[in-house]
Structures are given as C-alpha cells and as structure tokens.
Amino acid sequence: MSLYPTLFRKLLMPAYEIVKGKGLLKYIDEYQGHLNWDRAQLESHQWMALTKLLHHAYTTTSFYHDTWSKVGISDIREIKNLNDFYQLPLITKNDIQLHYNDLISNKFTGNIRKSTGGSTGQPFHFEYNIESNTRREAVMWRGYGWLGAGLGEKTLYLWGADVGEKSVLKSIKNNLYHGFYNRKILNSFAMNKDNMRNYTNEVNKFKPTALVSYVNPLFELAKFIIEHKINIYQPMTILTGAEPLYPHQRDIIKQAFNCPVYDTFGCREFMLMSAECQQEQNLHINADHLVVETINAQGQSITSQSGDLAITDLYNYGMPLIRYLNGDRATLIESACSCGNPLPIMQSVDGRKLDIIKTPSGKTIPGELFPHLFKEFNAIHRFQIRQSKIDSLDILIVENSPLDEATKTKILSEINKYAQQELSIKFSVVTNIPLTVSGKHRVTICEI
Ligand SMILES: [Zn+2]
C-alpha cells in the first residue's frame, strides 16, 4: 500500500492549507464524522441548516423575499417542517437567467462565478460563495473516499479538459499541481480510435490506484482494450460520472479493467450529489449538504417513483438555490442501505427530461429505450436520436460495419411498440457525432 495518501493528508495538505487557508481538511473531517450519525441526527442537522438558509435567503435576496411573499409567507418561521418547505415554489434555470442579480445575497460579494454550456449549447451562469465551494469539494472527497479515490490516492482522471490551448507555463503549473494531489488528467475530449493505444499506455505507465472517468470515453476505451486484447493495469477502483452509466457499459468496463466500477452523480451547480457505496448499487445522497427531492408532474414532492430532481444547496449563501430543478430525473427510496452509511438512498438516476421522445398523439418514449435497444447490434458503434419535429425522428449512426435491412427493421419494430407508427423514422449514417460543449455524448435530443 502506498504511503502517499497518509503523508499527503497528515503533512503536505495541512502545510498547503496554511498557505491557502481554505480549511478543506477541516470540512472533510466534519462531513466524514456525519457518517457515524444515525438518520435522526442527520435529519435534525439538515433541518437546522435549512432553516438558517431559508432565513438568509428571505432576508438578503429580493428574489426569495418577493417570490415567497407572493405565496403568502410573511415570516420564515411559518415554515415549520419539511412538508411546509415542500410547498415553496420550485425554481428553474430560466428563473436564474431572468432574475440573476435578485438571487444574489446582498451580504455576499466576491462569489465564484461559474458557467455551463448546458445541453442546448446556450451558456448558463450561476455563482456561489467561497466557503460553499470548499464545502462542496469536501463532500466530493468524502464520496470519492468511500469508493477508494479519496484525497491523495493515486488517481487517473479521464475527464474533459479545459477548452483551448494551454501556455507552457500553465501546463507546468497544472502538472505540478496535479502531481501534488497525486493525480494525472487525461483529456477525454481528445481521445479517438487512432490514439487510444496512447491512453492505455498512459494507464500502464501511471499505475493508478483509482480511475475516475466520464462514462462514454471509458466505455469506448474498455471496448478497445477487450477488442485488441491489451494488457491493462488493474486499478483498485473505478468511479464514473458526468453521464448516465448503463448496466451494459458497467459490465464492459468491469471486464476490461477487472475491477469494481461505481457510479457517481453530480452536476455543475452542486458538484457531487450522490455516490454509490461498495455494497450495493444504490447511490447515497449527500443529505447533510443538500436537500434532494423528486417532484411528480403535479409538482408534489414524492419518493419511490421517478421524478424531477429539485435540489437545495444548504451552504450556498452567495446565490441561494432553493428547490432548484436541475433537469435530471431520479428515483429516491426511503429504506436504509445495508452498508451502514446513514445517508439516504437514490435508487437510480433516470436520465434527463430532454431525453424523452414524443409523438403527435402525446405518447412518450423513454430515452432509456435507445441505449438498451442499440447495444444489441454490433454494427452500431455510436448513435444519437434527434427529434426536431413532432412527427419525425432521426437516428444518426456511426457504423462498425454496414447496417443491414434486417437490423433496421428490428429497430423500427421496437420503437413502434411505443410510437405506434406515428413517427416518420429516418436512419442516417455519419462519420462522427459531435459532443455537447461540455464534452458529453447526448443519447437523445428532443428539440420540441
Ligand atoms: Zn450503502
């Protein structure tokens, strides 16, 4: 076992923190300690942090003051429990765009401002205060830590890198910085069939304890390793994120690297929201840092069935995001996990709302159908489903080998089990399917 993680945690990082003064280790210890709590302690902690946040948002932002006043709140003490909280209005990306300045607390200046490309390519901005940033990093390290990829562990990231060319000086600075954290970053955006051998060489050279990756690039690399019978270094653990991990992808990645593969779930607005534990394929929600709910079509907070995620960051005091619909769907369940981790469970991440394909008569086709269906056909290397009109569907395919008529017929018949011939479906063979601006592969895009 390597001594570096211990040396890093006990000596190097504390020294670095004296210089940087961020307090990351303190927060990691604090959040780590919460794993010894029982459910009641967690709930009481969450409620206390939530009431504090609600008071702060109501008294220091004009957005929440006005929005909540409109639904009859005149004093924040009227919100006595979570059920009362669940009656507060939900907010969306659109609200943030329209009321950006009204959402920023008048007590906070010098927030960290972030942008995301979003699925449509339209830039979207939001911000958070500096302490909230350190806290979210700590929560991330806790989740990564219970999966064997904690602070200081030798970790290889196959991840989206910064856009644009870096200066030599910045590259050196980056390399030193990542070297200090005992990690190496490989740019997943730049990986393709022609250079995959270099990526496998990098894995073998670096010999990571943990590998952290976007799902689709790692899935591609795993298929390449199996196909070319490459001898690959076996990490202790693999963590995926940023894109949905489908069961067939997990199987292939496991087979290629011969080690366990765990899914994590986050988004740019909140960083890590949940991560699987080692015992079961359940994700534990960071409920001591966030309030995570799911909402049905009637706008009610629900559990045990799939719903739209609404998230509240308990510590973003700079630009409070309260009951924010981030566009993802998930299923939350109330039972406890057998692993002993008291954090509540997200049973599954169910994709994004945009993934659903519609028909003229109002039928819907779940986005999950497509990866499930297309994995059966070896001729298909990559695909994307695009709907720009209510009565048609475009299927873009990058082929491994020519797609025969029998396969097309089979695909059409599966889709028509849902679409009932209401869609005019067109196949197009393409050489490349562009990624989103944030480097993710979109399985389905519905533009209507
Ligand atoms: Zn568990």
pLDDT at 228: 96
Ligand 1 centroid vs 362 CA: distance in angstroms? 39
Ligand 1 centroid vs 391 CA: distance in angstroms? 44
Ligand 1 centroid vs 39 CA: distance in angstroms? 13
Q: Is the pLDDT of residue 351 over 90?
A: no
Q: Which two tokens stand for residue 341?
A: 């981790």
Ligand 1 centroid vs 119 CA: distance in angstroms? 31
- Give the span between the Cα atoms of 106 and 129, in whole angstroms: 12
Ligand 1 centroid vs 278 CA: distance in angstroms? 7
pLDDT tens-place string over residues 52-110: 999 999 999 999 999 999 999 999 999 999 999 999 999 988 899 899 999 999 998 88
Ligand 1 centroid vs 279 CA: distance in angstroms? 6
pLDDT at 60: 97
Kindly indicate the confidence band of residue 364, based on its pLDDT and cuts at 50, 70 and 90. Answer: confident
pLDDT tens-place string over residues 236-270: 999 998 878 888 999 999 999 999 999 999 988 99
Give the chain's domains with CATH numbers. 4-354 (3.40.50.12780), 356-446 (3.30.300.30)
